[in-house]
């Protein structure tokens, strides 16, 4: 029991430390993206949307990070002499208002990030609504479970890692991870298909920007999806490391869309115009090849 309590405290410390480092990176990415957006020639509505979207995500992450840090500070410093010590404080205060506030902020950020990822999938698949029907249904279910988890975690003596709150939490993580697996697979498969289709049409620089490894990793949110699978596995098992993985996963909830926004600000993200231009280019290339092939056949068969 003591070893489990110590492992849980260690996981909280490690998770907070890693999250603080990632938070600094996200702050830089948001600042740089905002600078690029304000200096770009994109329509003002588009620039304001991505600036505001990224800013809201950063605020939500700030709330969640501050909540985790405050919880650690109270448990290890301010209230360490309470009866039962830090382990008793941990169990008794998981439903404290600041923890619930942090959980709600993280959940809201995840809902926003998944919505952006769903929209990016819609764009990359050339605005085909039928393609995103199933992911959209899973997204709605994930959102409902997130809301239920936050409500239950606010109940007196509730525990996010055990009981009904944990059941809602596992359901939420399972649905959002399932959503990310499906959407990631759809985006990766689409980009790989386009990469093969345009490899003789676009330049090396253009292929790298739109269908290269970095583009696939960022546009598909692949690292976030893999980390989500790890978090789900540890959450279901109820191991202490789930605390650390969950905190880090919470920062990736914001890091992933911020990287997409950075690509948008840099002018290399997929858009409706990108899809139409590439489609037109490949069509012209295919037509020219067909014409060339027909001419060769005619010359050989006068």
What is d(CA 10, CA 204) in angstroms, rounded to the nearest whole number?
47
What is d(CA 140, CA 146) in angstroms, rounded to the nearest whole number?
10
Question: Is the model's pLDDT at 300 over the cut of 50?
Answer: no
Question: Is the model's pLDDT at 29 over the cut of 90?
Answer: yes
CA distances from 250 to 150, 167, 204, 208, 256 (A): 15, 18, 35, 29, 10
Say what the pLDDT of residue 294 is.
Answer: 39
The position carrying tokens 């959503």 is: 179
List, in order, residues 6 or more apart from 214 with CB less than 8 Å away.
208
Question: Is the model's pLDDT at 212 over the cut of 80?
Answer: no
Say what the pLDDT of residue 297 is.
Answer: 34
pLDDT category of residue 204 using cuts at 50, 70 and 90: low
Residue with the bigger pLDDT between 120 and 136: it is: 136
Question: Is the model's pLDDT at 219 over the cut of 90?
Answer: no
Question: Is the model's pLDDT at 82 over the cut of 60?
Answer: yes
Q: Pull the structure tokens for residue 151.
A: 């409500």
Question: Is the model's pLDDT at 193 over the cut of 70?
Answer: yes
Say what the pLDDT of residue 159 is.
Answer: 87
What is d(CA 87, CA 156) in angstroms, rounded to the nearest whole number?
18
List, in order, residues 6 or more apart from 91 with CB less than 8 Å away.
159
What is d(CA 195, CA 208) in angstroms, rounded to the nearest whole number?
9
Burial class (CB in 10 A: 0-12, 13-18, 19+), 250: buried
Tell me the mean pLDDT in the region 45-64: 94
CB under 8 A, 24+ apart: contacts of 40-48: 40/265, 40/267
pLDDT category of residue 145 using cuts at 50, 70 and 90: very high
Say what the pLDDT of residue 16 is.
Answer: 95
Say what the pLDDT of residue 135 is.
Answer: 95
Say what the pLDDT of residue 175 is.
Answer: 96
Say what the pLDDT of residue 23 is.
Answer: 97
Tell me the mean pLDDT in the region 5-15: 92
Output the average pLDDT for the chain.
84
pTM of the model: 0.85
What is d(CA 50, CA 197) in angstroms, rounded to the nearest whole number?
30
Read off the pLDDT of residues 244-287 as tens digits, 9 standing for 90 and up.
Answer: 999 999 999 999 999 988 888 887 666 666 656 665 655 555 55
Read off the pLDDT of residues 106-130 as tens digits, 9 standing for 90 and up.
Answer: 999 999 999 999 998 998 888 889 9
């Amino acid at each position: 029991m003591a070893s489990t309590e110590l492992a849980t405290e260690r996981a909280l410390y490690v998770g907070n430390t890693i999250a603080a480092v990632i938070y600094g990176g996200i702050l830089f990415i948001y600042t740089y993206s905002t600078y690029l957006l304000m200096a770009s020639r994109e329509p003002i509505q588009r620039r304001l949307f991505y600036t505001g979207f990224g800013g809201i995500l950063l605020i939500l992450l700030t709330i969640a990070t501050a909540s985790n840090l405050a919880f650690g500070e109270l448990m290890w410093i301010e209230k360490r002499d309470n009866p039962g010590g830090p382990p008793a404080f941990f169990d008794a205060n998981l439903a404290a208002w600041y923890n619930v506030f942090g959980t709600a902020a993280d959940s809201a950020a995840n809902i926003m990030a998944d919505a952006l990822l769903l929209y990016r999938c819609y764009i990359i698949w050339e605005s085909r609504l039928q393609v995103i029907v199933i992911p959209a249904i899973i997204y709605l279910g994930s959102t409902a479970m997130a809301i239920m988890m936050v409500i239950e975690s606010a109940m007196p003596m509730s525990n996010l890692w055990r009981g009904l709150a944990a059941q809602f939490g596992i359901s939420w993580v399972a649905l959002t991870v399932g959503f990310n697996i499906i959407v990631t697979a759809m985006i990766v498969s689409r980009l790989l298909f386009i990469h093969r289709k345009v490899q003789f049409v676009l330049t090396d620089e253009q292929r790298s920007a739109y269908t290269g490894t970095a583009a696939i990793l960022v546009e598909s949110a692949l690292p976030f999806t893999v980390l989500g699978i790890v978090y789900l596995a540890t959450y279901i098992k109820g191991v202490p490391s789930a605390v650390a993985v969950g905190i880090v996963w919470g920062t990736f909830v914001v890091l992933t869309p911020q990287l997409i926004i950075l690509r948008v600000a840099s002018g290399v993200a997929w858009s409706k115009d990108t899809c139409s231009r590439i489609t037109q280019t490949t069509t012209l290339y295919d037509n020219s090849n067909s014409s060339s092939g027909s001419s060769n056949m005619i010359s050989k068969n006068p």
